[in-house]
Amino acid sequence: MTGLPIAVVGASAAGLAAAEALRRFGWRGPLTLIGDEPHLPYDRPPLSKQLLQGAWAPEKLLLRTADQLAPLDLDLRLGTRATGLDVAGRTLTLDGDVGVSPLAQGRERGTLRCAGVIIATGVAARTLPGADRIAGVHTLRTLDDALALRGRLANGGTPGSEGVAAGGGGRRLVIVGNGVLGCEAAAVARELGHEVTLVGIEATPMAAAVGTEVGELLAEEHRARGVRLLTGAVDGFETAPADPAGGGDRRVTAVRLAHGGTPAGEGRASGGVAAGGGGAEGRLLPADLVLLAIGSRPGVDWLDDPALDTGDGLRCDAYCAAAPGVYAAGDVARWDHPVHGRPLRFEHRMNATEQGMAAARNLLAELAAEASGPAGATAAAGAEAAAPAPERRPFAPVPYFWSDQYAVKLQAYGLTAGADRVETTVLDRAARRALALYGRDRSAVGVLAAGLPPRQVRALRAVVAAPLPWEEARERIAAALAAG
Amino acid sequence: MKITLDADRCCAAGQCVLIAPEVFDQRDEDGVVVLLDAEPPAGQHDAVREAAAVCPAAVIEVRA
């Protein structure tokens, strides 16, 4: 019997990790990796940091070079989009461009019957209606997004202008959304010398992720660096005709706020950027450039099989299985975390890799069981040739995320979002050194460190590996800090 | 086994130190990875491969 392939849909961190793990765990059958972008798998966290800043060239973001991918013997289909999945038949529908990159073995449209499928389609940037037809309004999710925005920041923000080195500065950038991405981009743009206004619905930057106290510490750092912080909802954009020579879309001139927009954190120093607009300050924010950093949508639109639950990502069980032979990993997967006892979905870089590996292991275990079971008809040659079958294991990571803004590095383990109790200890306000403990249902479930030495940060991980009584967590944190 | 690092890309997550503390460490000042043993003994190989696979910045390269 000819072996059917395992297909991994999504060629970013989670998909690549899954593909590599499939080989490492013994899959010798055909292996198809499908990515809708034309690029080899690349890393996303540097997009809003080193790449946007101009410190790194795009090549530095590649997770693997072509040479490093070669031993995987991938059927690599870049520039190819999965447009459907028949779960019962484990059959994908693909829609691909042909020959979009040197490594793409571009296939025409068609279907691909699979032994198993791992879905790692990630998330897409949310946007606002009509925003994609306004020049100067950007999102920041893909390499192409980041390069476009970087180009505008480097050349002074004017479409088509050239020859000004990185750090040209002086343009008015309004960032809509004060979550992690918006804050990171604000730091970079400010360091490049641009006038940066950060507008969010939340009064405190990153509050949804880290709580208000840590968020306020970050707000102080942004203000000290000259970022203007506003609270408000965006109503739309003011535009002007495209440059006569450009002949393209209208270009943005201002961001319109729905309810005025108030300076975040009343009574604090507002930093070095002059506010425009006089009495109507905030209502209309003049802008040469706009970054929409208003969250993301899980990449599930293409999954229309009723066997799948695609509300807020692809719903999976504790093994990352969405259906028999169909697994998910990374930003798109919402699975039952066995330790936390509720479905969770993370858009964290670390989770992408770890979940990709877990999904690969569990899929192989399932295929091996199918091959040896009474219904072994669907057995794939690759599974038969595999090493001793791994057993399926619940995926139970200690979540981890980090964020870099200016010289501030935040690192968090466990669950910091959705906490019903946060206790923040500011160790050194000027140096932005802090430690925060996050609780839910009377247990400590997350911990965050800012500005702590690596040894102490690592020691915090064990404290929130599983929910812990609050007082016990505090004692263990104190011990971890004392030992460091 | 021979390990090479692209430490310039390190994001200081520290996962490698948690997984293989005899092979990796972190600089105190910024958490960037430090290689303690570029050719570790066989007993460390599995841990090193796991560290390389998990590293969220793909910093660690392992050659057989």
pLDDT of residue A169: 74
Report how far residue A73's alpha carbon sits from residue A86's, in angstroms, rounded to the nearest whole number: 26
Q: Give the pLDDT confidence score for residue A273 in this predicted structure.
A: 32
Q: Computed from CA positions of residues A94, A95, A101, A105, in that sequence, does the dihedral angle turn out positive or negative? A: positive
- Residues pairing with A424 in the sheet: A436
pLDDT of residue A192: 95
pLDDT one-digit tens code per residue, A432-454: 999 999 999 999 999 999 999 99
Sign of the four-CA dihedral A428, A214, A445, B53: negative
* Cβ within 8 Å, pair A400-B31: no
Contact A353 B14 (CB under 8 A): no
Q: pLDDT digit string (tens) for A331-378?
A: 999 999 999 989 999 999 999 999 999 999 999 999 999 888 755 444
Residue labelled with tokens 């604090």: A268
Mutant choice from A22, A411, A433, A452 vs B, greatest count of B C-beta within 10 A: A411
B28 touches chain A (CB under 8 A): yes
Q: What is the pLDDT of residue A261?
A: 64
Q: Is the dihedral of CA A149, A155, A156, A160 positive or negative?
A: negative
Distance from CA of A386 to the nearest CA of B (A): 19
Contact B28, B63 (CB under 8 A): no
Rounded to 10 deg, the angle between the A454-461 and A470-483 helix axes is: 150
Residue A168, pLDDT score: 59
pLDDT, residue A259, reads 67
Q: What was the pLDDT predicted at A382?
A: 55
* Closest alpha carbon to A118 in A407, A387, A314, A260: A314
How far apart (Å, rounded) are the C-alpha atoms in residues B24 and B21? 5
Query: B18 and A400 in contact by Cβ < 8 A?
Result: no
Percent of chain A with pLDDT over 70: 85
CA of A483 vs chain B CAs: smallest distance (Å): 14
Report the residue of B9, B11, B34 to disrupt the A interface, i.e. the one with the largest count of A CBs within 10 Å: B11
Q: Which residues of chain B have pLDDT under 70?
A: none
Q: Give CA A142 to chain center in angstroms.
A: 10
Question: Measured at the alpha carbon of residue B14, what is the angle toward residues A456 and A432, in degrees to the nearest 5?
Answer: 50
CA distance A451 to chain B (A): 9
Q: Which helix H or strand E contains A305, and what residues bound it?
A: none
pLDDT at A304 (0 to 100): 93
A190, two tokens: 């400010």
Ranges of chain A whose pLDDT falls below 50: 1, 99-106, 157-167, 266-282, 376-381, 385-386
Record the pTM.
0.91
Instruction: Check if the beta carbon of residue B40 is closer than 8 Å to that of residue B25.
Output: no
pLDDT attached to residue A389 = 63
Model ipTM value: 0.94
Which whole-number Å values give the CA distances from A225 to A25, A154, A195, A270, A451, in the listed order? 48, 19, 11, 10, 18
Contacting residues of B for A59, CB less than 8 Å apart:
none
- Give the closest residue to A405 by CA, choosing from A247, A187, A253: A187
Q: Which residues of B touch A17 (CB under 8 A)?
A: 53
Q: A443-450 and A468-469: which strand pairing?
A: antiparallel
